[in-house]
Amino acid sequence: MHATTPAAPPTNELQDLFGDRMVTGGAELDRVSRDESRAMPEGSALAAVFPESTEEVSAALGWANRHGVKVSVRGTGTGVSGGALAYAGGLVVSLERMNRIMLIDPVNRLAEVQAGVINAELDRAAEDHGLFFAPDPASAEISTIGGNIATNAGGLRCISHGVTRDSVAALEVVLADGSILRTGARTLKNVVGLDLTSLFVGSEGTLGVITSATVRLKPIAPGIPRTFRASFPTVEDAGRAVTAIVNGAQTPEVLELLDARSVQIIETYKPSGLPADGCALLIGQFTGLQAEQAAGDTAQLCREHGAREVVIAEGDSLLEARRLANPALNAQGLRVSCDVAVPVGELAEVFRGIERIAEAHGRTISVVAHAGDGNLHPTVEAEDTPQGHAAAEVVIGDITRLALELGGTISGEHGIGLVKQAELPWQLDEATLHAQQMIKYALDRKNILTPGRGI
């Protein structure tokens, strides 16, 4: 007897509901089957649907649950952990058309948005009311609010405003069986029941599909921002300066670090006069009426910790180098990167350790970091071959273990997805992993939502 392939479930119900907003093949299905990670889909999805309302998401998940079809969820596909990759024979639910800003409430400093709203577009809409949306991932111009919430994204402003979770007041979520629930409240205080909002933030699509959110906004600080850029002879010196700044009396809005190799790559990509003498760069920004004084005091602190040169400027011009890091590294060719975090006081030691790892493996590693919160993005340069890629993965593994040895975590902001799934037991004990799986089972009995990823 030969095993037979199970027949694909009928999609006529989805077709009736979504019409031309459902695709079963071609370039559009290929587009929504991938994300920006180095992982690839395991096979071709059965279909992709593009809902425009929570009720349509509910109908799609109800269909998938009845037929036992695996579901992957995506916004604009900017994730780098492989969490949004399509499953063979699965259903892709793309929320990119759920892109309405439904309300901005300047009195209560809240916004209600659908999951597919672009992060930066909400920020610009809030600006008309003298407010801003604090989460600021490097992909803010193309990533969605729903995706940011699902991965609990970080960004440049975390040192002063926290991660995405700190800006989420309430959620609308569709569970695996199509049930719709709402969490949280519009109030500043709310201790009614379990904190389901925090449970779904960062759950990477494994517990439910976030379809809309009520998020908190903040007032734009008065005055002109002041940005400083300090060059250090070594990245360890810059790391020690970060510790001093973070423990000081004045908290910067942004505090980013680029090692010498990253500076070189960025300057090659877009020359702008960055130091070319093997220096690491520390870039920070202060806002508010005391910004000028705070930037000056911090510049002096950098000099006391070995900075060769410090430049201060008005506005955001000096931040451009940091925002160019990702496109510059992409233009460099094949690269294998990771996302780890350590306690801020361990920054100098983690940089020393990365240098030792690079030397031991004979590999060039460049590092950019959200230094103010200890979140690093090391990138290993590798040959565009399976062997080169595999060798780089070994280096990434060593860096991840180093972060854990220093009291850190295997992911600070990008999430686990598929790429880091094998690393989960490095950080979480068996009881913790089991508890997460039990929560997953309680909400998704058939294990259709993003199975085998995230948790």
Q: At what angle do helices 235-246 and 347-361 cross, to 10 degrees?
A: 160
Kindly report the pTM of this predicted structure: 0.93
The CA distance from 164 to 150, in Å, is: 9
The CA distance from 455 to 434, in Å, is: 10
Q: pLDDT band at 6, cuts 50/70/90?
A: low
Going by C-alpha positions, the residue among 289, 143, 149 that lies closest to residue 210 is 149
Structure-model confidence comparison of residues 327 and 80, the more confident one: 80
7-16, long-range: CB < 8 A, 24+ apart? 8/46, 8/89, 9/46, 9/67, 9/68, 9/69, 11/46, 11/47, 13/63, 14/47, 14/49, 14/60, 14/63, 14/91
The CA distance from 270 to 267, in Å, is: 5
User: Quick check: 58 and 174 in contact, CB under 8 A?
Assistant: yes
DSSP 192: S
Task: Give residue-wise pLDDT tens across range 24-82.
Answer: 999 999 999 999 988 889 899 999 999 999 999 999 999 999 999 999 999 999 999 99
The CA distance from 90 to 174, in Å, is: 18
DSSP 409: B
HSE toward the beta carbon, residue 110, CA cutoff 13 A: 15
Q: pLDDT band at 1, cuts 50/70/90?
A: very low
List Cβ neighbours of 7 (8 Å cut-off, separation of 6 or more): none
User: Quick check: 285 and 316 in contact, CB under 8 A?
Assistant: yes
Residue 239 backbone phi and psi in degrees, to 5: -60, -40
Answer whether residue 419 shows pLDDT above 60: yes
CA distances (Å), origin 361, targets 382, 423, 425:
11, 20, 24
Strand extents, DSSP E, 323-439: 335-337, 340-341, 365-370, 375-381
Answer whether residue 417 shows pLDDT above 70: yes
Task: Give residue-wise pLDDT tens across range 155-183.
Answer: 899 999 999 999 999 999 999 999 999 99
Answer whether residue 138 shows pLDDT above 70: yes
The chain-wide mean pLDDT, for the chain, equals 93
Q: Could you tell me the two tokens for 268?
A: 């090659």
User: Quick check: 221 and 287 in contact, CB under 8 A?
Assistant: yes
CA 199 to chain CA centroid, nearest Å:
17
Instruction: Identify residue 267 by its one-letter amino acid code.
Output: E
The CA distance from 437 to 455, in Å, is: 7
Task: Give residue-wise pLDDT tens across range 330-362.
Answer: 777 667 889 999 999 999 999 999 999 999 999
Q: pLDDT band at 315, cuts 50/70/90?
A: confident
Answer whether residue 5 shows pLDDT above 60: no
Answer whether residue 4 shows pLDDT above 80: no
